[in-house]
């Protein structure tokens, strides 16, 4: 049989559609499980800082416990308590440190040399003696320590330490039992802030975590003792002991609190070892609070909880400049707790924040998601080509489909991480391009319609295009329906590419008019596309064309830089206020790139096509594609609850339709005005004749 004879591609398309349907069923299963996991952790901790509480108590002339009890009434649930160190105790006046001390009796311990770096720690507080000595022995070699009381039974009690003070002085000695007692008696929970350091050895790390667990009894009916936050640029034990740290936290039922945007060394490794069984922490520094209103700070905390699965809010007090600073602090905490509860979350001392329920996708479900995503990309390529192709090309398509399915199964079994990246890109690019290609065809179909008759088809085209794009987003969201992705331990690796690639591909499709026409052969299709490309490249370069291309590149670059929570381009204060209003009105704020740019311009493109303005219509449609790539990008952020992402997409559509129809009316008014102005001289000339 002649392999060059054309045969219909209907069977290949049907095979792709079948895989897509199966993939959507798998995505539905995965997303239902994901939503259940997202609902499993609704408790949020409002944590205040112990040092700020002490400072507030001093200004108010009250005991710290009394202030803590008032803050608990306002809505605080826990207190962040830093681990003590020799340097912190020295700065607080609790101990005295002397360099090169003269030892009691005039002799250093055996093995110590006069040239060694030695310093003395004098402790006058009886309650601190055991804490300092036990803490030093936990984290530092005992042969470098010596108890050297100047007189038996007298104070201060002296310890000799061999080693550099700048290093040893920063080692964590554990929590202060007195401060822990004050916090718990006030009815609040303790959130330890342990010191990260590079000197941690495995035995020292084990002893420190065990000692911490002893001070944090397991609440009745709870699965974890509480949340632990680490201070410093690196986690204790980084790099080699991160697996040990993960095992110790699990063994002692302690929850790692991962501080958002902290960039701590070892954070990603620890999160991976814990398989996402952690809670995320968000804080606003005192410096930031000084430049923001309390309303803005509360809104930011609420967004962190609702949009990014944050479950611990580390609250610094805003500037307390009033005559009653405690009342100001209480009002701030109370307003924050009330706002979080209003969003449907639990703020209660008896309900501590805890990790999401463990979630893992079965391998067959992941394989179907991968296969459906790859089929979506192949289906787009096939829809561009003529409906009948040479047999060898159709067979090649079947071969690609079989290889893709085999790759999907193999990736799901062997390398699911790589599979998520590759097939996630297939879903993002394939379904977005399917949607935009559908819109391109509809644009040409509506070119001969009357502007008034094209209004409803324009809205319908936007809706159907967005639905097709969102299907790709749901595939990606389904792939990431596992616990690590909910807490941003795992992330989709191709976010920037999902924004740029569809725009570039759609631009190429417009330039070449790369959609096959009815009854067109493959050779005729190829020659036509090449001719269009040569014609485009052979056009003279005008200054307006350069300016337009530059503007387009700048818009795409800004869209790429502004994507993500830690975007490289800042947001103006005016836009922040506008976003805040949308959050208050709509629950889920739609993306600016969708409702204010992409969707209205998309409708305007069809309005231009209905008036016979082909070139402007195509340029507007390319600009409208920004809204579609933004839609799929929404689902690439797995730490955002999937229902919130769906609501964000819906809000973007109806707002974009309203703005787009308003622009349609303005365009119609401008067109009629111009026609009337152009008709006026002709009428005058006719009267004169």
Across 491-507, b (16+ Cβ under 10 Å) vs e yields bbebbeebbebbbebbb
Same domain, 422 and 327: no
Give me the mean pLDDT over the 668-682 stretch. 73
pLDDT at residue 51 is higher than 70: yes
**pLDDT tens per residue across span 22-48:** 999 999 999 999 999 999 999 999 999
Say if 425 falls within a structural domain. yes
Same domain, 265 and 345: yes
**pLDDT tens per residue across span 288-322:** 898 888 988 999 999 999 999 999 999 999 988 77
- 616 or 378: which leads in pLDDT: 378
pLDDT at residue 682 is higher than 60: no
Say if 306 falls within a structural domain. yes
Same domain, 161 and 181: no
Tell me the C-alpha distance between 271 and 292, whole Å.
31
Say if 106 falls within a structural domain. no
**pLDDT tens per residue across span 179-214:** 999 999 999 999 999 987 655 688 889 999 999 999
Say if 223 falls within a structural domain. yes
pLDDT at position 314, please?
Answer: 97
Say if 390 falls within a structural domain. yes
Same domain, 219 and 146: no
Cβ atoms of residues 128 and 94 within 8 Å: yes
Q: Rounded mean pLDDT of the chain?
A: 89
Tell me the C-alpha distance between 436 and 613, whole Å.
19
Give me the mean pLDDT over the 65-79 stretch. 97
pLDDT at residue 134 is higher than 80: yes
Same domain, 638 and 591: yes
The last residue of a domain, from among 149, 173, 197: 173
Same domain, 495 and 593: yes
Q: What is the CATH number of the domain that holds 319?
A: 3.20.20.370
pLDDT at residue 218 is higher than 80: yes
**pLDDT tens per residue across span 620-673:** 999 999 999 999 999 999 899 999 999 999 999 999 999 999 998 888 888 778
Residue-number span of the structural domain to which 611 is assigned: 6-36+359-674
DSSP state of 357: P
**C-alpha dist (Å) from residue 265 to 232, 270, 281, 355, 592:** 9, 10, 16, 21, 34
Q: Which residues pair with 348 in a beta bridge?
A: 351
pLDDT at position 148, please?
Answer: 79
pLDDT at residue 117 is higher than 60: yes
Say if 683 falls within a structural domain. no
The last residue of a domain, from among 323, 355, 387: 355
Give me the mean pLDDT over the 109-124 stretch. 90
pLDDT at position 556, please?
Answer: 62
Helix, strand and coil in the chain, % to nearest 5: 60, 10, 30
When divided into structural domains, the chain yields a total of 3
pLDDT at position 581, please?
Answer: 73
Same domain, 132 and 249: no
Same domain, 370 and 473: yes
Tell me the C-alpha distance between 313 and 282, whole Å.
5
Cα-to-chain-centroid distance, residue 198: 29
Q: What is the DSSP string of 119-163?
A: EEEEE--HHHHHHHHHHHHHHS-GGGEEE--SSTT-SSEEEEEES
pLDDT at residue 91 is higher than 80: yes
**pLDDT tens per residue across span 563-604:** 655 554 555 566 667 666 777 777 888 888 899 999 999 999
pLDDT at residue 468 is higher than 90: yes
How many Cα atoms occupy the beta-carbon half-sphere of 539 within 13 Å? 12
Look at the block and give the residue holding tokens 């103006």.
Answer: 572
**pLDDT tens per residue across span 162-181:** 999 998 999 999 999 999 99
Q: What is the pTM of this model?
A: 0.89
Same domain, 47 and 15: no
The last residue of a domain, from among 322, 355, 388: 355
pLDDT at position 222, please?
Answer: 83
pLDDT at residue 78 is higher than 70: yes
Same domain, 165 and 189: no
Cβ atoms of residues 80 and 180 within 8 Å: no
226-231 and 254-259 as β-strands: parallel, antiparallel, unpaired?
parallel
Say if 403 falls within a structural domain. yes
pLDDT at position 412, please?
Answer: 96
Same domain, 339 and 405: no
Confidence of residue 562 (pLDDT cuts 50, 70, 90): low
Long-range own/partner contacts, residues 167-171 (CB < 8 A, 24 or more apart):
167/199, 168/86, 168/140, 169/85, 169/86, 169/87, 169/90, 169/97, 170/85, 170/86, 170/87, 170/195, 170/197, 171/85, 171/86, 171/135, 171/136, 171/139, 171/140, 171/195, 171/197, 171/199
- Percent pLDDT > 70 in the chain is 90
Say if 608 falls within a structural domain. yes
pLDDT at position 200, please?
Answer: 63
pLDDT at position 262, please?
Answer: 83
Same domain, 134 and 243: no
pLDDT at position 239, please?
Answer: 84
∠568-591-297 over CA atoms, to 5°? 65
pLDDT at position 687, please?
Answer: 56
């Amino acid at each position: 049989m002649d392999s060059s004879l054309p045969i219909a591609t209907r069977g290949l398309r049907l095979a792709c559609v079948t895989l897509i349907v199966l993939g959507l069923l798998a995505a539905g299963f995965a997303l239902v499980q994901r939503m259940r996991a997202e609902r499993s952790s609704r408790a949020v901790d409002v944590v205040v800082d112990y040092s700020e509480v002490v400072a507030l108590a001093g200004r108010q002339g009250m005991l710290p416990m009394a202030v803590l009890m008032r803050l608990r009434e306002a809505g605080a649930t826990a207190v962040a308590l830093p681990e003590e160190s020799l340097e912190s105790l020295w700065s607080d006046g609790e101990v005295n440190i002397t360099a090169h001390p003269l030892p009691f009796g005039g002799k250093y311990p055996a093995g110590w040399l006069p040239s060694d770096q030695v310093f003395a720690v004098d402790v006058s507080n009886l309650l601190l003696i055991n804490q300092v000595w036990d803490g030093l022995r936990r984290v530092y070699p005992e042969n470098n320590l010596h108890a050297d009381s100047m007189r038996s039974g007298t104070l201060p009690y002296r310890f000799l330490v061999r080693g550099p003070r700048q290093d040893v002085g920063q080692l964590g000695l554990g929590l202060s039992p007195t401060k822990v007692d004050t916090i718990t008696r006030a009815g609040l929970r303790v959130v330890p802030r342990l010191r990260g350091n590079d000197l941690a050895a495995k035995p020292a790390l084990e002893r420190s975590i065990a000692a911490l667990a002893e001070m944090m009894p397991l609440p009745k009916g709870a699965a974890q003792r509480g949340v632990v936050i680490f201070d410093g640029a690196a986690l204790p034990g980084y790099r080699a002991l991160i697996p040990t740290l993960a095992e110790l936290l699990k063994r002692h039922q302690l929850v790692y609190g991962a501080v958002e945007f902290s960039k701590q060394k070892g954070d990603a490794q620890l999160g991976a070892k814990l398989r996402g069984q952690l809670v995320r922490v968000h804080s606003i520094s005192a410096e930031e609070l000084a430049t923001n209103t309390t309303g803005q700070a509360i809104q930011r905390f609420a967004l962190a909880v609702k949009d990014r699965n944050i479950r611990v809010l580390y609250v610094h007090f805003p500037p307390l400049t009033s005559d009653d600073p405690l009342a100001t602090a209480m009002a701030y905490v109370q307003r924050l707790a009330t706002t979080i509860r209003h969003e449907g979350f639990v703020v209660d001392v008896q309900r501590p924040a805890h990790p999401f329920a463990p979630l893992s996708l079965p391998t067959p479900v992941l394989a179907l998601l991968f296969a459906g995503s790859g089929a979506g990309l192949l289906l787009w390529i096939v829809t561009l080509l003529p409906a009948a192709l040479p047999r060898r090309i159709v067979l090649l398509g079947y071969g690609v489909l079989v290889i893709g399915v085999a790759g999907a199964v193999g990736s799901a079994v062997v390398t699911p991480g790589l599979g998520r990246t590759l097939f996630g890109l297939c879903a993002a690019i394939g379904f977005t391009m399917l949607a935009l290609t559908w819109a391109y065809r509809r644009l040409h179909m509506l070119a001969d319609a009357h502007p008034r008759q094209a209004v409803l088809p324009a809205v319908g085209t936007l809706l159907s295009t967005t639905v097709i794009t969102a299907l790709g987003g749901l595939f990606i969201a389904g792939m990431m329906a596992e616990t690590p992705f909910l807490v941003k331990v795992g992330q989709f690796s191709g976010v920037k590419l999902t924004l740029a690639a569809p725009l570039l591909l759609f631009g190429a499709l417009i330039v070449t008019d790369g959609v096959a026409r009815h009854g067109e052969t493959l050779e005729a299709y190829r020659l036509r596309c090449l001719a269009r490309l040569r014609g485009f490249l052979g056009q003279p370069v005008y200054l307006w064309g350069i300016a337009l291309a530059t503007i387009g590149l700048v818009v795409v670059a800004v869209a790429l830089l502004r994507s993500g929570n830690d975007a490289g381009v800042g947001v103006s204060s005016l836009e922040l206020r506008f976003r805040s209003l949308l959050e208050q009105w709509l629950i889920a704020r739609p993306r600016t790139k969708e409702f204010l740019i992409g969707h209205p311009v998309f409708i305007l493109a069809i309005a231009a096509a209905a008036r016979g303005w082909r070139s402007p219509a195509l340029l507007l449609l390319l600009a409208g594609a920004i809204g579609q790539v933004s839609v799929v990008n929404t689902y690439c952020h797995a730490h955002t609850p999937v229902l919130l992402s769906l609501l964000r997409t819906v809000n973007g559509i109806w707002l974009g339709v309203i703005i787009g129809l308003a622009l349609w009316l303005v365009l119609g008014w401008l067109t009629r005005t111009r026609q009337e102005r152009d008709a006026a001289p002709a009428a005058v000339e006719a009267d004169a004749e």
